Structure 1
Amino acid sequence: MSAFVRVLPRISRSSVLTGSLRLQLRCYASYPAHTIIGMPALSPTMTQGNLAVWSKKEGDQLAPGEVIAEIETDKAQMDFEFQEDGYLAKILVPEGTKDIPVNKPIAVYVEDKDDVAAFKDFKLEDSGPDAKTSTKAQPAESQGAKKQDAPSEKAKSPAPEAKERTTAAPQGRVFASPLAKTIALEKGIALKDVQGTGPRGRITKADIESYLETSSKQSSVGGASVTASAASAAPQVAAAAAPSGTSTASYEDVPISTMRSIIGERLLQSTQGIPSYIVSSKISVSKLLKLRQSLNATANDKYKLSINDLLIKAITVAAKRVPDANAYWLPNENVIRKFKNVDVSVAVATPTGLLTPIVKNCEAKGLSQISNEIKELVKRARINKLAPEEFQGGTICISNMGMNNAVNMFTSIINPPQSTILAIATVERVAVEDATAENGFSFDNQVTITGTFDHRTIDGARGAEFMKELKTVVENPLEMLL
Structure 2
Amino acid sequence: MISSASVSRLALATGRRTVQRAAALVPMARAIASHNSARAFSATASAPRHILTASSVSLKNNMARFYSSKSYPSHITINMPALSPTMTMGNIGTWQKKVGDAIAPGDVLVEIETDKAQMDFECQEEGYIAKILADSGSKEVTINQPIAIMVENKEDIEKFADFTVADAGGAAAAPAATEEKKEEAPKAAEAPKAEAEAPKSSDSANAAPSRSDADRIFASPLAKKIANEKNISLSELSGSGPHGRIVKADVEGYTPAAKAAPATKAASASTPAAAPAGAAYTDIPLTNMRKIIAQRLTESKQNIPHYYVTVECEMDKVMKLREVLNKASEDKYKLSVNDFIVKASALALKAVPEANSSWMNDTIRQYHTADICVATSTPTGLITPIVANAESKGLATISNQVKDLAARARANKLAPHEYQGGTFTISNMGMYGIKHFTAIINPPQSCILAVGATEKRVVPGEDGEVRTASIMAVTLSSDHRTVDGAVSAQFLNAFKGYLENPLKMLL
TM-score when normalising by structure 2:
0.66
For the residue of structure 2 that corresponds to 1:270, the secondary structure is: helix
Distance 1:470 1:129, change over 3 A: closer
Q: Counterparts of 1:256 and 1:50 in 2: how far apart (Å)?
A: 12
Number of the residue aligned with 1:51: 92
Higher RCO, 1 vs 2 (CA within 8 Å, ≥6 residues apart): 1
Quick one: which of 408, 416, 422 aligns to 1:394? Answer: 422
The one of 409, 412, 436 equivalent to 1:384 is 412
Match of 1:10 among 31, 36, 40: 36
What does the per-residue CA deviation read over 1:191-234, in whole Å, with 9 as the maximum and x for residues that have no partner? xxxxxxxxxxxxxxxxxxxxxxxxxxxxxxxxxxxxxxxxxxxx
- State the match for 1:145 in structure 2: none
Q: Against the structure 1 CA distance between its residues 28 and 283, is the aligned structure 2 distance closer, same or farther, given a 3 Å change threshold? A: closer
Deviation readout 1:345-395 (Å, 9 max, x if unpaired): 111111111111111111211111111111111111112221221111111
1:415 aligned to which of 442, 458, 469: 442
Aligned with 2:318 (options 276, 284, 288) = 288
- CA contact under 8 A between 1:7 and 1:131: conserved in structure 2? no
How many residue pairs get aligned? The number is 359
Map Cα deviations across residues 432-464 of structure 1 (whole Å, 9 max, x no partner). 234589xx5332111111111111111101111
- Contact in 1 for aligned 2:41/2:121 (Cα 8 Å): no
| Deviation at residue 116 of structure 1 after TM alignment | 3.4
Give matches, 1:184-263, under 5 Å: 250-263=280-293
2:411 is the alignment partner of 1:354? no
**Deviation at residue 119 of structure 1 after TM alignment:** 3.5
Q: What percent identity do the matched residue pairs reach?
A: 49
Alpha-carbon distance change, 127 to 457 in structure 1, aligned in 2, over 3 angstroms = closer
Question: Which residue of 1 is the match for residue 331 of structure 2?
Answer: 301
Instruction: State yes or no: 1:371 paired with 2:399.
Output: yes
Q: C-alpha displacement at 1:132, in angstroms?
A: 6.2
Q: Measured at CA, do residues 61 and 364 of structure 1 come closer, stay the same or move farther in structure 2, by a change above 3 Å?
A: farther
**Alpha-carbon deviation of 1:75?**
2.8
Residues 86 and 115, structure 2, Cα contact 8 Å, conserved in 1: yes
Determine whether 1:478 maps to 2:503.
yes
Deviation at 1:418, TM superposition (A): 0.8
Superposition RMSD on alpha carbons, in Å? 2.7
| SS state at 1:403 partner | helix
Where in structure 1 are there 5+ consecutive unaligned residues?
1-5, 134-246
- The equivalent of 2:151 in structure 1 is 110
Q: Distance in 1 between matches of 2:170 and 2:490?
A: 66
Tell me the amino acid that sits aligned with residue 294 of structure 1: V
**DSSP 3-state at the match of 2:430:** coil
Which residue of structure 1 aligns with residue 225 of structure 2?
none
Q: CA offsets, 1:54-83, max 9 Å, x none?
A: 222223332334332222223333222223
Partner residue of 1:203? none
Secondary structure, in 3 states, of the residue corresponding to 1:418? Answer: coil
> Quick check: 1:90 aligned with 2:131?
yes
Deviation at 1:320, TM superposition (A): 0.8
Q: Aligned letter for 1:308?
A: N
| Higher Rg | 2
Q: 1:336 aligns with which of 364, 371, 383?
A: 364
Cα drift, residue 87 of structure 1: 2.2
**Structure 2 unaligned regions, length at least 5:** 1-31, 43-56, 175-276
Shift of residue 124, structure 1, vs aligned partner: 4.1
Match of 2:475 in 1: 450
Which shifted more, 391-400 or 374-383? 374-383
* Residues 362 and 456 of structure 1: CA distance in aligned 2, closer, same or farther (over 3 Å): same
SS of residue paired to 1:373: helix
Provide Cα deviations, 1:108-132, integer angstroms capped at 9, x if missing partner.
1122344434444443456687766
Alignment match, 2:228:
none
Per-residue deviation at 1:410? 0.7
Q: Which amino acid aligns with 2:113?
A: E
Q: What does the per-residue CA deviation read over 1:219-277, in whole Å, with 9 as the maximum and x for residues that have no partner?
A: xxxxxxxxxxxxxxxxxxxxxxxxxxxx9861111222332122111111111111111
Q: Which residue of 1 aligns with 2:452?
A: 425
Task: Give 1 or 2: higher helix fraction.
Answer: 2
Change (3 A) 1:130 1:367: closer
Looking at structure 2, the residues matched to 63 and 384 of structure 1 have their Cα atoms a distance apart, in angstroms, of 26
Distance 1:58 1:436, change over 3 A: farther
TM-score by length of 1: 0.69
Residues 23 and 131 of structure 1 are in contact (CA less than 8 Å); yes or no, is this contact kept in structure 2? no
SS at match of 2:431: coil
Contact 1:52 1:72 in 2 (8 A): yes
Alignment partners' CA distance in 1, 2:168 and 2:308: 59
The residue number in structure 2 matching 1:173 is none
